[in-house]
Amino acid sequence: MARGHGPEVRRRRLASELRRLRESAELTIGEVSDRLRCSTSKVSRIETGHVGVRPQDVRAMLTLYGVGERESDELVQLAHEARTRGWWHSYSEVFTGSFVGLEADASSLRAFQALLVPGLLQTRRYAHAVIRAMRPHAPDAEIKRRVSARMRRQRLLADESPPSYEAVMDEAVLHRVVGGRDVMSEQLLRLREAAALPHVTLRVVPFDAGAHSGMEGPFLILGFPERADPDVVYVDSTTGGVCLEEPDEVERYSVMFDHLRYHALGHEDSTRLLDKLSGAAHGR
C-alpha cells in the first residue's frame, strides 16, 4: 500500500489543519463551541485527533473560520477518508488509541527494546509466551486473540511497499530464554531472517556498552512521507502505551535513538552475533 494515506494519518492531518485555521481566525475553543452549540471538549478532541469528526461538523467549522470553498471541499473530503475503518478495528478489544493505525501508514519505524524482541519480529510461539506471562490470569481465548492481532500487525513488513524498519535491541533480549529453548531458538532464526530483508536493519547494544539512554524502556518512532505529518513517538508500558507528538518530546527520543545506535554494534556485527547465538541454540 502507498504510505501516508491511511485513515489515522488523515485524521491527524485534518485535526492539525482545523486547529491552524481556528487560530488563524483568532477564535478560541470556547468561542467555537458556543457558536456551533457543542461542548468545548468536543472541539478539543477533534483538534487533537483523538476522535473522528463528521464531515458536516468539519463544514460547519470551516464556514465559521471563513475558509474558501475549494479548501473547504478538500478538508471535507479528508474527513470522509479519515472515517474509513482499517483492519485493526476488528481487534478493537486488543488495540486502543491510534498507534496501530499510524504504524500501518508509517514510512519509517525506529524501535528500541531492552527486554523483549520487538512485536513486529516475534514468532507466534514467542508472542504467545510473552503475552501469557504478562496476562497470567487471562482466558486462553483472549491470549489467542492477542497473538492473532500481533501476527496480523506483522504483515506490514511483508507489504509491497513496506516501511524502513530499524530495530535496536539490548543484548539481554537475545539471551533471555522466553518460552523455552526451542521457542527461543526459533525466535533467533526469525531475527536472522528479518535481518536479511533489504528494508530491515537490526542492531544490538552489547553488554559491554554499559548503561545507556534506552534503559528507561521501549519506544518506537514513527515517520511519515509527507512533511505535513510530523513524527510520532509511541512509548509502551504494562498499563498501556501513549503517543507523543510534541516536537520537543519527539526530538528527545530521536536523540536517544541516535545515542543507542552509536553504542550498538553495526548491522553486520549484530547479524554475526545472531548467527553465533542461533548456532549455539542449535548445538552447532
280 pLDDT band, cuts 50/70/90, is low
What is the residue whose three cell numbers read 481556528?
A: 22
Question: pLDDT tens, 208-218?
Answer: 988 888 888 89
Q: How far apart are CA 47 and CA 61, in angstroms?
A: 11
Position 189 scores a pLDDT of 95
CB-side exposure of 91: number of CA atoms within 13 Å? 23
Asked if residue 274 has pLDDT above 60, the reply is: yes
C-beta atoms surrounding 16 within 10 Å = 17
Whether 233 and 250 have beta carbons less than 8 Å apart is answered as: yes
What per-residue confidence (pLDDT) applies to 282? 58
Evaluate if residue 1 carries a pLDDT over 70: no
Q: Which of 250, 242, 232 is nearest to 13 (CA)?
A: 232
On the question of pLDDT at 121 being above 80, the answer is yes
Task: Give the mean pLDDT of 13-42.
Answer: 91
In the prediction, which pLDDT does 128 show?
Answer: 98
Sheet holding 232-235, edge to edge: 200-205, 164-170, 108-113, 219-223, 232-235, 242-244
Mean of per-residue pLDDT scores for the chain: 91
Q: Among 32-41, 89-98, 122-131, 241-250, where is mean pLDDT lowest?
A: 89-98
Q: What is the pLDDT of residue 4?
A: 58
Report yes or no: 261 and 161 within 8 Å, Cβ to Cβ.
Answer: no
Mean pLDDT across 97-101: 85
Averaged over 31-59, what is the pLDDT?
89
Q: Compute the average pLDDT of residues 52-57.
A: 88
Contacts (Cβ under 8 Å, ≥6 apart) of 256: 112, 213, 214, 219
Q: What is the pLDDT of residues 69-97, one digit of tens each?
A: 999 999 999 888 888 888 888 998 898 77
**pLDDT 10s digits, 8-17:** 888 888 988 9
Query: Mind listing the pLDDT tens digit for each residue in 142-158?
Result: 999 999 999 999 999 99
Arithmetic mean of pLDDT, 46-75: 90
Question: Measured between alpha carbons, how far is 32 from 62 in angstroms, rounded to an integer?
Answer: 11
Question: What are the φ and ψ backbone dihedral angles of 236, each rounded to 5 degrees?
Answer: -95, 155
Q: Give me the amino acid identity at 41.
A: S
* pLDDT of amino acid 89: 86
Residue 204 confidence (pLDDT) above 90: yes
For the entire predicted model, the pTM comes to 0.86
Q: Provide mean pLDDT across the span 219-242.
A: 87
pLDDT of 62 higher than 80: yes
Whether 105 and 9 have beta carbons less than 8 Å apart is answered as: yes
> What pLDDT, on the 0 to 100 scale, is given for residue 199?
97
Instruction: Catalogue all structural domains in the chain, each as residue range(s) with its CATH number.
Output: 7-84 (1.10.260.40), 92-281 (3.30.870)
| Contact call for residues 147 and 131 (beta carbons, < 8 A) | yes
DSSP three-state, residue 260: helix
Q: What pLDDT, on the 0 to 100 scale, is given for residue 50?
A: 74
Spacing of C-alpha 21 from chain mean position: 28
Portion of the chain with pLDDT greater than 70, in percent: 95
